[in-house]
Structure 1
């Protein structure tokens, strides 16, 4: 197993143990002696977080088995082993800022329950994601 999947398996294990302690603490430890109804929001959210961590760990384990070893997976790796080109990052792209603005409009629409703002934010987000994905895939403009 590689480092990335190990991290998420560890997070999932912690969340499962923490959920068991949480369920016990919320439902059985009382100061006043009264028995309350289970607190479902916390129980469900911690279960979903553990499931998400397990999904990410399984995904990373499956994808790592199809790729070469990374320097962080070597026992005797040095810092210099990870040097080199990590990928291409666009230095002057406007689309991440446009996505941020679209998410802000969409979030404010959801908060205040303005349906026109939700629709506007969703349309802006689709345009921004499309622009980001197609930024270097479209033909260049000829002047």
Structure 2
């Protein structure tokens, strides 16, 4: 995680340099200046700094990963990386049900009820898709 902390640290330093320069160039201190961009850059700088501190804090307390060690080999990172789900149609049905719900809020309450029922069925199918069918565990 040290490499990630360094990358975010460099981005933080860049934003620390760019934010006051942007403030000066746009004359945000004068009336009619661009306070929106300056505020966004300040918040971006703070968010980059927060991620840098988090990654740096955890990089010192955890065992180095194979990619963090200088003597690490490619084979050291071999093994199971996790479970990656195959394709799924359920997010499509959930989004279509949400579309019907939003249209129901705009147009008619009965359409909202239909969308809510369809949404519950689609959400149930998405949650339990690995308990039945082709990809059951």
TM-score, with normalisation over the residues of structure 2?
0.59
Task: Output the CA distance in 1 between the equivalents of 2:62 and 2:53.
Answer: 15
Q: Given the superposition, is the C-alpha separation of residues 96 and 77 from structure 1 closer, same or farther in structure 2, using an over 3 Å criterion?
A: farther
TM-score normalised by structure 1 residue count: 0.57
Q: Which has a greater percent of helix? A: 2
Considering only CA atoms, is the larger Rg found in Structure 1 or Structure 2?
A: 2
**What per-residue deviation string (whole Å, max 9, x for no partner) do you get for residues 26-76 of structure 1?**
129xxxxxx653311100011111111112222223333443211221123
Alignment gaps of 5+ in structure 2:
107-111, 133-137
- Structure 1 regions of 5+ residues with no counterpart? 29-34
- SS of match in other structure, 2:67: helix
Paired position in structure 1 for 2:4: 4
Please state if 1:51 is matched with 2:74: no
Query: Aligned-residue CA RMSD in angstroms?
Result: 3.8
Please point out which of 36, 40, 44 is paired with 2:35: 40
Q: Distance in 2 between matches of 1:79 and 1:97?
A: 38
Q: Distance between the aligned counterparts of 1:9 and 1:43, measured in 2?
A: 20
Pairing 1:16–2:11 present: no
Distance in 1 between the 2:19 and 2:72 partners?
Answer: 36
The whole-number CA distance in structure 2 between the counterparts of 1:97 and 1:6 is 39
Which 4+ runs in 1 deviate beyond 6 A?
none
Residue by residue over 1:82-104, the C-alpha shift from the partner in whole angstroms, topping out at 9 and shown as x without a partner, is: 333221111134455567x47x9
Say how many residue pairs are matched: 117
Query: Does the 8 Å CA contact 1:3/1:73 hold for their aligned counterparts?
Result: yes
**Aligned pairs (5 A) from 1:1-143:** 2-27=2-27, 37-94=32-89, 97=92, 101=95, 116=105, 140=131
